[in-house]
Copies of this chain bind each other. A is one copy, B any other.
Amino acid sequence: MVNVGIIGYGYWGPNLVRNFFAAEDCCVKAVADSRPERLQQLGKVYPTIKGVRDAEDIIYDPGIDAVIIATPVSTHFTLAWKALAEGKHVLIEKPMTSSTEEAGLLINLAEQKRVLLMVDHTFLYTGAVQKMRQLVESQELGNIKYLDSTRINLGLFQSDINVLWDLAPHDISILNYIVDERPYSVNATGITHTNNNIENIAYLTVNYASGFIAHFNCSWTSPVKVRMMLVGGDQKMILYNDLEPTEKIKIYDTGYSYSNDEEKKRVLVDYRTGDIHVPKLATTEALLVMANDFISSIQEKKQPKSSCHLGLDVVRILEASNKSIKQSGLEVVLDASTVPSQSSTQEVLI
């Protein structure tokens, strides 16, 4: 049995409480939130859970084994650091931290304390993403060539993070989960329509040495909600529409190949379209699967699917995207060792 405490009972907290309540071998002992009305709400629905005003009442509670942090990003590092230092296992909401430096420090402390540090990238636990990973891993798509994601909506403008930090972690975590190759650089552009210098529309390109490319289109100012991702290989391609109630994944038996026409000095491209397959997907609530992965990873001392290393890689791309936006889209290098030679005008991310 793992006793957990949850810090933050705002938008996402109730979902965490509900699912950790339902998870196996787990007991939700306490929830912390500084707002009395949130604790009152908690009490009405879960009279057995202790509500506390101060996060430290959870962090320093010897009866609690694991701390779940569902507070604004800027507070993640400090709360997680304290909890890890106390020897607690820690689960952090995405994005993991405000910087790669912070994420690295937490990972080191968790290793030193031999406790689990995990990030809640819930989407990795959906039937759709599990199916996509399997299709990529099994080479059913052939060589994977691109990932193109659109996540737009009329959404709450955040006051501390821009639209990429708010929405893209979902898609970048999926990218990192299904593609093994690590990117070498990013370019990002965007715009602020208020006067606080926080982008509400942004576009991100992630570059890879192999010729794979990923692109993310995020907006808080779209009148329609779109949650669409294309993943293309040279043998098959996937359309992932998260708004479809059941047919979320469509696998197109569509591919292309090329050859050189020596005589005419040009490249000939053949493309092919075939049947479409819509697989039935697992429908267990992803957040519950995530909660069970957290608990069983603690108990079995194994790495969860949504590991802290994946969480760090997501922050690395977000951090670089900020640098690129602030320098008018300049390419920002993530990993200088893999930069192809033709790149010329770049900034290297530390």
A residues touching B (Cβ–Cβ < 8 Å)?
47, 145-146, 148, 150, 152, 154, 156-157, 159, 185, 187, 189-196, 198, 201, 203, 205, 207, 211-213, 215, 217, 219, 221-224, 230, 232, 234, 237, 239, 243, 245, 247, 250, 252-254, 256, 258, 260, 266-267, 269, 271, 273-280, 327-331, 343-346
Beta-carbon contact of B329 and A196 below 8 Å: no
Q: How far is the CA of A145 from the CA of B47 in the complex (A)?
A: 48
10 smallest CB-CB distances across A and B, nearest first, come from A223-B252, A276-B278, A187-B329, A157-B269, A223-B237, A189-B205, A191-B213, A196-B267, A328-B331, A223-B254
Beta-carbon contact of B191 and A189 below 8 Å: no
Beta-carbon contact of A275 and B275 below 8 Å: no
Q: How far is the CA of A329 from the CA of B269 in the complex (A)?
A: 26
Known: A47-B47, A223-B237, A223-B239. 19 other contacts (CB 8 A): A145-B191, A148-B201, A148-B222, A156-B269, A159-B266, A159-B267, A189-B215, A191-B211, A196-B267, A203-B215, A222-B230, A222-B237, A223-B232, A274-B280, A275-B279, A276-B278, A328-B344, A328-B346, A345-B345
- Least CB distance, A324 to chain B, in whole angstroms: 8
On chain B, the residues within 8 Å of A194 by CB distance are 258, 267, 269
- Least CB distance, A301 to chain B, in whole angstroms: 31
Secondary structure at the A interface, as helix, strand, loop or mixed, is: strand
On chain B, the residues within 8 Å of A266 by CB distance are 159, 196
Q: How far is the CA of A205 from the CA of B195 in the complex (A)?
A: 21
Can you pick out 23 interface pairs between chain A and chain B where the beta carbons lie within 8 Å of each other? A146-B201, A157-B256, A157-B258, A187-B328, A189-B207, A189-B213, A191-B211, A191-B213, A192-B211, A194-B258, A195-B260, A195-B267, A196-B266, A201-B215, A207-B328, A217-B217, A221-B232, A222-B230, A223-B254, A224-B239, A328-B343, A328-B344, A330-B331
On chain B, the residues within 8 Å of A207 by CB distance are 189, 328
On chain B, the residues within 8 Å of A47 by CB distance are 47
On chain B, the residues within 8 Å of A195 by CB distance are 258, 260, 267
On chain B, the residues within 8 Å of A217 by CB distance are 148, 215, 217
Look across to chain B and name the residue whose beta carbon is closest to the beta carbon of A347: B345
Q: How far is the CA of A193 from the CA of B146 in the complex (A)?
A: 10
Given contacts A191-B146, A232-B222, A344-B328, contact A273 B237 (CB under 8 A): no
Beta-carbon contact of A224 and B230 below 8 Å: yes
On chain B, the residues within 8 Å of A190 by CB distance are 213
